[in-house]
Amino acid sequence: MDRVSVLAKYIPLEAAQIIAQWIAENSCQFTISRSRKSKFGDYRPPYAGKGHRISINNNLNEYAFLITTVHEFAHLKTWNEHKNRFKPHSLVWKNNFKELMQPFFALEIFPEDIKTAVSSYLSNPSASSCTDLDLYRALQRYDKAKEGHIVLEHLPQDRLFALSSGRIFEKGPKLRKRYRCIERPSGKVYLFNPLAEVKILP
């Protein structure tokens, strides 16, 4: 199966054609990875005889997959231009990210709510799309619903919830950007991202 056909399983066809061209032009090893909780994607520069390497989580919806891919190619472009002379999410990287996003805006790849959130995010993109709550919320709307789960900010206060590990917490008040939650039965306090997906408990 050719590269465009593989990519088209994860992102719209027109976007797949562009990404496939970027992969070829940069001799990039592009891997569709199993899900990683700590990140959506990853870029590694050439090292020890290996070329550029990008990996993207396989469980992302098509818009999250595409935005993450562009994010990582912005790292590749920045490395090609400046090697490691700039920090990973410097102004140079931000400008490259904005530039690489333009073809997908022109093709009207994104629905209006994501386009609005992406445009806002591009005014000052951070290290990860999941750290921008407005963009993360917009992307989350296109995830497949997971039975028995809920986004933490939609769970009523003082309700119990569980993580995939089985650990149980009680939702507390919001402190600035995160929720203060108490682990049961240890009583330890943890701060949770409001968009964390948790399992509802009776």
Quote the CA–CA distance of 34 and 140 in Å, as a whole number: 18
CA distances 200 to 10, 42, 149, Å, are 29, 31, 6
Other C-beta atoms closer than 10 Å to the C-beta of 74 total 24
Domain ranges of the chain: 3-140, 149-200
Nearest-angstrom CA–CA distance, 146 and 182: 24
Residue 152 phi, psi (nearest 5): -55, -40
Amino acid 20 reads A
Alpha-carbon distance of 94 to 127, in angstroms, equals 10
Q: What is the radius of gyration, based on Cα positions, of the chain? A: 19
**Mean pLDDT score, 138-144:** 89
Strand-pair partners of 33: 57
Residue 135 has pLDDT above 70, yes or no: yes
Higher-pLDDT residue of 10 and 144 is: 10
Q: What is the pLDDT of residues 89-102, one digit of tens each?
A: 778 888 999 999 99
149-162 pLDDT per residue, tens? 999 999 999 999 99
pLDDT tens digit string along 146-193? 888 999 999 999 999 999 899 999 999 999 889 999 999 999 999 999
pTM: 0.81
In DSSP notation, 6-54 reads HHTTTS-HHHHHHHHHHHHHTT-EEEEEPP-SS-SEEEE--BTTB--EE
Pick the CATH number of 3-140 from 3.30.2010, 3.10.20, 1.10.286, 2.60.40: 3.30.2010
Confidence bin at 127 (pLDDT 50/70/90): low
